[in-house]
Amino acid sequence: MTPGLTVELGARSYPIHFCADAGAALADLLRELQAQQRPVALLTDEGAAGAQAEFVARTFGAIPRLVVGTGEGSKSLPVYGRVLEFLAEHQVSRQGVLLVLGGGVVGDLGGFAAASYLRGIECVQIPTTLLAMVDSSVGGKTGLNLSAGKNLVGAFHHPRAVHIATDFLATLPAREFAAGAAEVVKYGLLGDAALFARLESDPVKPHRTELAAVIRRCCEMKAEIVRADERELAAEGGRALLNLGHTFGHAIEQVTGYGAYLHGEAVAVGLAGAARLSQRLGLIGAADVARVERVVAAHALPTRLVQPLPLAALMAAMQHDKKVRAGRLRFVVLRRLGEAATQGDIDPALVEAVWRELGAA
């Protein structure tokens, strides 16, 4: 069994549990909450509710549940309102706990609903996608998208616990698994050269016994970064490093209306963009860029825009990135493969040149 982790945040520390099947651990949790007479509700998405129908029925029984649509469209103010009304309708009190089962979208949505309903109730994250397991379920960032940009509404609200069960990945569509692999590659690039080399020689795949260890390593890295810079306040580096590839990726998602690309697919193109920008800054060489793009492609992910997008629209979307300071963009760049840094005051002409290489028109 893969050993657990603790996200160390003093009084707000919480465990990450790893197992093949989360049913037994969740059954213990539900018995504990029932004994304490604490109301419980379940939020999930259509993908998880369908793929894990037997698990949901067996584990959660008659617990009130709300099923929302899959995709970034659910990280919206109207759907957020539905979640709040659902909690109120079922009289979930301040002692209540919201269980959130699904991918990164419903995790962000449920986390923000828990953060704001009655000024904050506990939540438990139960990620069912690779992307949510290695990234979005850990760290306490919750949020919604606006038409102006990605994750512009949100709160820091850490879960009571995270339950990661690799059995969920057996039913994950290949495209969704690949999207999660983009975040795994990101971790190797930003802080673990050995992990990157491992992915280079042996791309991550479902049904592999090594997968649990890879997921745990990603969570371990994120937990350490969050411990050191919980609210992304470090002047340089810190939690912002987790956004490697995301400044490009979020712009792609916004310009395409959060529908054409899965989040991980946009991040994959963003990783190629970050590598190319790093090369233009003289930090890494062409051979390193080629290695990044080979690893991304080996995980069935794009390294270029699928279709040309307007350069002006992509550059404008970047201005809504949360890392903008005093009107200037900051990027996460690669000092080498396995070490990232934040850098500002980058000539926009360099960014435009990278976008053109990625297929912008």
- Residues with catalytic function: 119, 141, 183, 222, 232, 239, 243, 246, 250, 263
Residues with Cβ within 8 Å of 305's Cβ and at least 6 positions away in sequence, in order, are 252, 269, 358, 359, 360
Query: From CA 69, how far away is CA 63, in angstroms rounded?
Result: 19
Sign of dihedral through CA atoms 280, 337, 173, 67?
Answer: negative
Element (H or E) spanning 249, and its range? helix 246-255
Query: From CA 333, how far away is CA 124, in angstroms rounded?
Result: 33
Sequence-separated contacts (24+) of 62-65 with Cβ below 8 Å: 63/30, 63/99, 64/90, 65/41
- Counted residue by residue, the chain has a size of 361
> Following DSSP, what letter does each residue of 87-140 receive, concatenated?
HHHTT--TT-EEEEEESHHHHHHHHHHHHHGGG--EEEEEE-SHHIIIIITSS-
Sign of dihedral through CA atoms 311, 316, 319, 321?
Answer: negative
